[in-house]
Structure 1
């Protein structure tokens, strides 16, 4: 154990298991208020339990940062103990959970496209037999975080370089060049990359792009001038439909819009979705179930994601890949 913090009196006995579970919730969410909501407690109770835990251990388990509470070295060791407590409770109640279904809150982050087209229908189907399961989806495009405060798992583009986490390859998706039929009628469809380079580009904001793999299209199209750019891929789709220029779009998103025309089909880029999850989170039945549901959904949708099949969650042929 770390030396006793000089700001504390001598440790006051063994830590309380409930206090450890409260710390675990704070470590997951990063905030007392969110941990309180998840545990069905109030903010004051969470604060009191953390104080009691620190008193029993004789040192701080959390430090405040600009992005919420972070674990100290002692806090990380305490969370390992809390995970063991949670696993033991889960084992004791597994039979009951099987009869009642999975319950709890699972929070994940993923890019806009896969969040809407794959993850949302996958977890909706999972909830049909597990109505007490709550899945929170944070739509964002970024690298996997080394410190996954507040998240049970992350889905990112490009192979992540992280430690102390399971990294699972989910599947590929394809980017292609698209323009609206109206834009093509007014400007003529380009027949070469040289002609594409003279056209305005609809894509991510270059200065704000955090994912190296998503920068590859700009290497394919060097010097192409920006038109409408955004951190949100749905903006790319709708700006392209509004004739803002040529969009480098996921083919599975463009496929549902008959007013989009694919240009130079040989100009394409395939990127890979990866899932990042801590091993201790996988021990939680709710997290494990959501991971399985997402993996199954991506596998089922793989032809759709690369523009070679219909959307399996809509049951209707895709349109707009002419």
Structure 2
């Protein structure tokens, strides 16, 4: 029986795989490519039939590449580069949507200004931010990048240490006029604390910081660090706050900096295929520029 060579893989199907790999969702991939959900699913099925195996599998809230899909992705990226080379110019623009999951403080102080600077050079790059304070165990489906507090435990993703930031104990000047300033850790026993909701906090580094101020009583607790800052400024108690958010406020005083001085790490988690996107690469460069510029403020040096 004669054996005929298999036809070459469809470039269109490979580009569909590339879009699904980058977004984690059929619907979002379809929006990027101008296709409906059914067509995306059909193209993926056609590619799987030709390759003889699954290229994507269900993940939490989306799709992730299988080992076969990861190998096919290389061919998909070759197709994208070849098509891009047809109209390549020295001033080729960078465009696309970046999805970031990050903490409130990092999002506001680092990511948003970095994106503003990037858009001055590449106005067609867009950023979507979902704020969350968590320690990654597996990267969130649909996010290109994730910034977490503490070293993450991840599979099939790349983790990179970005920067450290200082956490200190603060109170408002008005509050200190009405209540004596603590001088030792023992003085904090029973005092009102403004911090994260303990039962909802599953980040080892932030738990360790809380244990640095033992015996305090929750006064205002929130999942949002900007609420911590405003509650402390409003006189709700002693806030355990990031220095880069608290120090700019003249009405806040840092207390016992030699006794309460926690340093916590920001880590970046990224899918390998996301790192190959020009828009993501450009955004990471902008993040690094911003982090270098604000390193003294992150570490609490006024």
State which of 34, 37, 41 in structure 1 corresponds to 2:35.
41
The reply to whether residue 129 of structure 1 matches residue 131 of structure 2 is no
Aligned equivalents of 1:86, 1:134: Cα separation in 2? 20
Give the secondary structure class of the aligned counterpart of 1:173: strand
Give the secondary structure class of the aligned counterpart of 2:133: coil
Give the secondary structure class of the aligned counterpart of 1:214: helix
Which shifted more, 154-163 or 59-68? 59-68
The reply to whether residue 192 of structure 1 matches residue 184 of structure 2 is yes
Conservation of the 8 A alpha-carbon contact between 1:172 and 1:272 = yes
- In structure 2, the residue matched to 1:212 is 204
Identify if the C-alpha distance between structure 1 residues 186 and 42 changes in structure 2 by more than 3 Å, giving closer, same or farther: same
Conservation of the 8 A alpha-carbon contact between 2:16 and 2:29 = yes
- In structure 2, the residue matched to 1:141 is 133
Number of aligned residue pairs: 296
State which of 172, 177, 180 in structure 1 corresponds to 2:172.
180
Identify if the C-alpha distance between structure 1 residues 249 and 68 changes in structure 2 by more than 3 Å, giving closer, same or farther: same
Q: CA RMSD in A?
A: 2.4
Aligned equivalents of 1:22, 1:35: Cα separation in 2? 7
Identify if the C-alpha distance between structure 1 residues 223 and 109 changes in structure 2 by more than 3 Å, giving closer, same or farther: same
Aligned equivalents of 1:47, 1:75: Cα separation in 2? 14
Aligned equivalents of 1:228, 1:169: Cα separation in 2? 31
- In structure 2, the residue matched to 1:19 is 13
Conservation of the 8 A alpha-carbon contact between 2:62 and 2:142 = no
Conservation of the 8 A alpha-carbon contact between 1:27 and 1:149 = no
Conservation of the 8 A alpha-carbon contact between 1:13 and 1:57 = no
Conservation of the 8 A alpha-carbon contact between 2:60 and 2:140 = no
Matches within 5 A, 1:30-69: 30-64=24-58, 67-69=61-63
Deviations 1:92-125 (A, max 9, x none): 26843x4142111222222111110111111111
- In structure 2, the residue matched to 1:295 is 288
Aligned equivalents of 1:220, 1:52: Cα separation in 2? 57
Matches within 5 A, 1:75-86: 75-86=69-80
Identify if the C-alpha distance between structure 1 residues 27 and 245 changes in structure 2 by more than 3 Å, giving closer, same or farther: same
Aligned equivalents of 1:148, 1:93: Cα separation in 2? 34
Where does structure 1 differ by over 6 angstroms across 4 or more consecutive aligned residues?
none
Deviations 1:269-292 (A, max 9, x none): 111222233444333221111111
The reply to whether residue 286 of structure 1 matches residue 282 of structure 2 is no
Conservation of the 8 A alpha-carbon contact between 2:135 and 2:152 = yes
- In structure 2, the residue matched to 1:317 is none
Aligned equivalents of 2:68, 2:203: Cα separation in 1? 33
Aligned equivalents of 1:254, 1:190: Cα separation in 2? 18
Cα drift, residue 89 of structure 1 = 4.0
Which shifted more, 236-245 or 152-161? 152-161
Unaligned runs of 5+ in 1: 1-11, 310-322
